[in-house]
Structure 1
Amino acid sequence: MKLREDARAEGLRLLDWWASHLVDDCGGFYGEVDADDRPVPEASKSIILNTRLLWFFSAMAGKGDARAAGLARRAADYIRTYFHDAEQGGLYWLLKADGRPEDTRKQAYAQAFAVYAFAEYYHATGDAAALTFARDLQALIEAKYWDSERGGYIEALNRAWNPPADQRLSDKDLDAPKTMNTHLHVLEAYSRLHGVAPTEDTRAALYRILTVFLDRFVAPDGHLRLFFDMAWNDLTLSISYGHDIEASWLIWEAAEALDDKALLERARPIVLALAGTARREGMSEGGAFSYEKSFDGHTDPDGEWWEQAEALVGFVNAWQMTGEANWLEAAEKVWAYTKTQYGAGGVSEWTWYAASASKDKIYKAGQWKCPYHNGRAMIEVARQLRKT
């Protein structure tokens, strides 16, 4: 199938770009590469970029790529040496370019990405210390972030494990203590850790986060609710089409990892409803995937690169679940649009926005631009289509 071959080729091409543009001779990886493919040596280094680099290089190393294995080892060593708080545990949010701590807050989201990345690194290398690191971080998430009174995971803590004045993950987010985005990536991380090194503890943790996600964040209208206060009062102001479609396949992945018949039966209609509303409301006739729609009716039609990548995986997953051709057709349409508008299949990393969008150019690599959404999409699509 051509889409499968395209995905395999694009995964290798993305590896080439990230391997040749990010290595910092002063240690680890550059914190930023600008829109014209030039490194920014003075840029701060974020835990999100570094854990996503570790995940992608490890996933490619797991396919036998020796260069990726070396880069994964470099990423793992840098995270454990510089981002890890040896005194109080957990991972810092941001480092200066020279590796000194710059922002020492500890987002649950960041700890989860490290679980995800080190589980993948263990899977690729068999490094027992990486598995211990991942398990210790999962135990830390459970001990520090779980709300034992009302359930769910709180968003952030400071270095000393106290609530910070501002819990936001980014400037786009509400200052809310419980968010869909963090829960989604705890779910993803726990799925992978259970998949590569299952224990009764990993199973129980995965079952709990999946149940919380289905109970709290999935709404009857086929969309996710995004922000809540500590008592689970809904603070959501918009629909995120990209997260709807991303959650659809990550929910199914978690349910399959648990292999629980009742949970699979519960998850199936939810997964297809999320994918269906995302396709119906968020995708244009030309294959573009929108960013979001606010509850007051305003729609931002200029999708970012990551929504296109997640739509590709989500639609292929729905096709695998149902066998209905319209899902595969939707995936192929998104892929064609992504090649035309975001530079997929070209000579560089994908652009942040479509070429037709009236937006300023943004960096190719940085805190929120990593080889994760698009790199993972290529790996996942190739894997899914191998079943056919």
Structure 2
Amino acid sequence: MDRRRRAVESAAPAAVMVLLLLSIAPAGGARRDWGFRSPSSSVGFTEPNTKPDVKNNGQTFVFNYTLAKAIVEYASAVYMTDLTALYAWTCSRCNDLTRGFEVTCIIVDVQNCLQAFVGVDHKLNAIIVAIRGTQENSIQNWIKDMIWKQVKLNYPNVPNAKVHTGFYSSYNNTLLRPAITNAVRKARKLHGARDIIVTGHSMGGAIASFCALDLAIRFGSNNVHLMTFGQPRVGNAAFASYFAKYVPNTIRMTHERDIVPHLPPYFFFLPRLTYRHFPREVWEHEVDGNTTFQVCDGSGEDPNCCRSVFVLFWSASDHLTYMGVKIEADDWSTCRIVLGRSAEQLQMNLASNIVTSGRSVDVVIADYSVQVD
């Protein structure tokens, strides 16, 4: 683990030097509140846990710590490579606040190294969609790529909006979009028109953003909530504005000096072309030895939140833990090998009835699916 973290951390100096040369600088009722933007949501824990310090800085936005802690556990669990354990929700990360989660669909795209699951959290009264981030053992290369990737693709039907081609395609041009859409539609049909929470970490958070936008357009903005962890920027200012309009119930968690939320880089002197975060950020960091969750302003680029960290202090290791929960792959072998091996094992277990369940679970692998009753 130490060797892996050192390898990850080694990416930061190269990124730091490049970005330093580019001179990046900060820009000057009774429905229960989830701790997203809207206080009218009908779902959530019965009461928020406010033991950690939460700094709102005059914002009307309220951060629900307990809800966020549950969602980060889903963002961590989707990294597990034992698909049989995910199927049965018995994996080592499938406990604590997520105990009792009902998996309704597991999605694996071996060719594109993508993995996700959909299910129902009865305590939250919500449908959960979790999408995994990069699993490759070359995170340092992925971070370096983020520095040089350019906005290339016009977003459909939105003048001047541009997005990161890779993140957009990873959701819209792969198995994920049809499989997740079908799984959510089926879950709402079986369990009622519950709200939808989409989550992901790192690249998974970027892909989850496009997923949340797609689901919000399909099922309504008030019904879709997004919470990501260590998410990179995904589009320009026009896209960020469009996204905030259609997915207002959004939280982007950032942690201490995590380098990834700073990528692709923000160029304050190119306001129309540069990548820009959409709101709302909640920054987890230490203040006088205490963990504080700072609710940032509605700009998406609050200079008093994670952007206040000087470029030389950006860290890759802070990217691997959020709210005390480890968020990284449990197997750092080549992604396709891991996914292929896990998918094959799950299919063998299903065929031999090793996995038993009294409910219906869809298993969608590559370009085909099997229905398991």
TM-score, normalization by structure 2: 0.27
Give the structure with the larger helix fraction.
1
Higher relative contact order (CA 8 A, sep 6+): 2
